[in-house]
Amino acid sequence: MSAPILDVAHVGKSFPGVRALADVSLQVAPGEVVALVGENGAGKSTLLKILSGDYRLDEGTVRIGGAEVSHASPLEARRAGFRLVRQEPEIVPDIAAAENVFVGEYPRRSLGRVDHGAMRDAMAAQLRRYGFKGLVDPEQPGRSLSPAQTHIVEIVAALKPGVKVVAFDEPTSSLTSDEVERLFQLIRQLKAEGLSIIYVSHRLKEVLAISDRVVVLKDGRVTGNLMTARTNEDEIVRYMVGRELVHDFKREETTRPEVVLEVCHLSSRWHRDLGFSIRAGEILGFGGLVGAGRTELAKVIFGEYPRSGGTIRLLGRERDIRSPSDAIAADIGFAPENRKAEGLILVRSVIENASMAVYRRLSRWGVLSDRRMVEKVAPVIRALDVKTPSMEQEVGKLSGGNQQKVVLSRWLAAGPRLLILDEPTRAVDVGAKAEIYRLIDRLAKEGMAIMLISSEMPELLALSDRIVVMNGGRLSPVIEKKDATEELVVSYALGKGMAA
């Protein structure tokens, strides 16, 4: 192997009560793609944050291009050539896409004035160079960027002159299969240009498709360093969890006659004349490309976004839902896709966050005893294997995947009549994923109606009793379970066979 560009040697890092990394060593050569995998809480993000200069390491050294950057600040890490493409980048809503790309590094004209034209042109050139032409307008305001566009902005921001190592943190979690393919082409291009790539993901198929080597972390230690060409999913999972997992999940149909949700002629800024219903015990899957309007539909039903026409009935009764509290009063639960920003109070504890939706139900005369709260919620937290030193831990201190499990546990424990799940296993590890599938299945068996938005085809096909596909704010005809295939869902998602 040629001399590594990135050389991590014997790195250790502890937080109060948690040894997040212990004796971690890792090298990445020029033009090499190293995947970093591990269960939720294994230490992947902590390692990335040390490389990006956001965290200080306790022990060991980090070298980039031969120069030691063990205690670098974020600015020094960037100057040394390390760039992180984050999973949920922070976009400044009030400034243009191009300005978001250059935040903190604005090109200047004489007299120190910011050169907006130069920024726009530089971003346009980068978009062309990396195959993103036409997908984002450099002038587009930050607030109007979709998750996929936000990701492109983050990538373009990372690929500045002088970059040597790019780390992608769960890059595909909000991308469609076409977008994943485009990202892979980009990674191949970066590889050919001699960059070193770190690719953090829970999606092992993608890891196997794009990486040269797989480094496995477990409880903060490197447990495996495998050549991709000579390994497989089962072997990686063994290194991750120390046991084999069953991938295939099948469920029996549990649909009951009672209609829980009935949506008629629903229109909004994003939707035209939608109609569908979900029965008790039924899981209705929503397929479609990112940006098709599925998350927006969830938010219209949950009262977060306004409806311009149509009716929503719950258990036969028309409900005028104008806010999330109206929706909760109508017995609707919603676990959003962007859980960190929308679902959690980061400074509150695990148990408080997980109990938020059960307050009303568990309270007697407005008082909720801790014992009842713990009795109801703690088993769900344990079933999802949330890795936390205690139920009292601040949620903001958990790993990303574990934070997601806390939001899910809230709704799984609350047990509303209608549960809307938007990408429920995004960024969740393989073991927890199977557990989440079992919990969703159990809730359906108990009679909950479930609206499942998922871009992961195997998940959509395995869990849904029926599937509808959204394209441009419209719904496809209902696909019955026996007819549901990946090909059919994809062809509707691309707009084939949809009403004009």
Ligand X SMILES: Nc1ncnc2c1ncn2[C@@H]1O[C@H](COP(=O)(O)OP(=O)(O)OP(=O)(O)O)[C@@H](O)[C@H]1O
Query: Which residues lie near ligand X (CB under 6 A)?
Result: 15, 18, 20, 38, 40-46, 387, 397-402
C-beta closer to ligand X: residue 397 or 481: 397
C-beta closer to ligand X: residue 54 or 121: 54
Name the DSSP letter for residue 111. Answer: G
Report how far residue 258's alpha carbon sits from residue 465's, in angstroms, rounded to the nearest whole number.
15
Q: How far is the CB of 416 from ligand X (least distance, A)?
A: 26
Q: How many CA atoms lie within 13 A of 94 on its CB side?
A: 0
CB distance 355 to 410 below 8 Å: yes
C-beta closer to ligand X: residue 284 or 395: 395
CB distance 486 to 304 below 8 Å: no
Q: How far is the CB of 125 from ligand X (least distance, A)?
A: 34
Q: Which of 339, 482, 358 minimizes the C-alpha distance to 401?
A: 339
C-beta closer to ligand X: residue 38 or 288: 38
Q: How far is the CB of 394 from ligand X (least distance, A)?
A: 8
CB distance 150 to 91 below 8 Å: yes
C-beta closer to ligand X: residue 136 or 384: 384
C-beta closer to ligand X: residue 233 or 258: 233
Q: How far is the CB of 352 from ligand X (least distance, A)?
A: 17
Q: What is the distance in angstroms between the CA of the first residue and the CA of the last residue of the chain?
A: 56
3-state secondary structure of 330: coil
Q: How far is the CB of 339 from ligand X (least distance, A)?
A: 12
- Looking at residue 435, its amino acid is E
Q: Which of 226, 235, 209, 199 minimizes the C-alpha distance to 44?
A: 199
Q: How far is the CB of 46 from ligand X (least distance, A)?
A: 3
> Which residue is at the shortest CB distance from ligand X?
401
Report how far residue 286's alpha carbon sits from residue 460's, in angstroms, rounded to the nearest whole number.
8
3-state secondary structure of 353: helix
Token reading at 103: 């935040």
C-beta closer to ligand X: residue 151 or 251: 151
Q: Is 190 left (phi over 0), alpha (psi -120 to 50) or beta?
A: alpha
Q: How far is the CB of 396 from ligand X (least distance, A)?
A: 8
Q: Mind giving me the DSSP string for 383-398?
A: HTT---S-TTSBGGGS
Report how far residue 500's alpha carbon sits from residue 477's, in angstroms, rounded to the nearest whole number.
13
Q: How far is the CB of 142 from ligand X (least distance, A)?
A: 25
C-beta closer to ligand X: residue 268 or 393: 393
Token reading at 414: 């609350």
Report how far residue 380's alpha carbon sits from residue 389's, in angstroms, rounded to the nearest whole number.
16
Q: How far is the CB of 206 from ligand X (least distance, A)?
A: 15
C-beta closer to ligand X: residue 239 or 270: 239
